Amino acid sequence: MLRRRLIVCYILSMLLLLLTSFSCLAQKMPVPHKVEAEFPGGTSKMYMFFGKNFKYPEEAIKANVSTGPIWIQLKIDSVGKVRDIRILKSPGFGFNEECVRVIKLMPAWQPAKISGKPVSSIYKFPLQICLE
């Protein structure tokens, strides 16, 4: 008798588990489609923009400093305007100020989108500048 009750409980538990699994599958929310913010023309155009507009800082030339990667973080708002420029890593020697100056010259970006709706986003990237 006890064994029969255990089997019935086991079968009911399995049915309950099965039913809840199907209801969870049916109730899953669709994953929103996200598109990241992008400089007009893409990343390669952004680096070309830096190459064209960046002036190697005099302070760095005098100190004979070459850069390691400079890490930059930008907030791109929902209309594509660059906000909140942060230099995360830099050798100093005027590179921070020059990066900020060039970023302020940038045209509006294509903002990030979630399910087709423009949203603010954070964009991080490394920059390697070489003295020629």
Q: pLDDT tens-digit profile of 38-60? A: 999 999 999 999 999 999 899 88
- Over residues 95-101, the mean pLDDT reads 94
More confident residue, 32 or 12: 32
Query: Chain centroid to CA 78: how far?
Result: 14
In this model, does residue 9 exceed pLDDT 50?
no
Whether 12 shows a pLDDT value over 60: the answer reads: no
Contact (CB, 8 A) for 60 and 94? yes
* pLDDT above 90 (res 103): yes
In this structure, whether the domain defined by 34-127 belongs to CATH 3.10.129.10 is answered with: no
Alpha carbon 31 to its chain's center: 18
Provide the pLDDT for residue 1: 52
- Angle in degrees, CA 71, 73, 77, rounded to 5: 160
- Say what the pLDDT of residue 38 is: 96
Tokens encoding 59: 């302070």
SS (HEC) of 5-40 = HHHHHHHHHHHHHHHHHHHHHHHCCCCCCEECCECC
Q: Please compute the mean of the pLDDT values over residues 9-36 and round it to a whole number.
A: 58
Confidence band of 11 (pLDDT split at 50, 70, 90): low
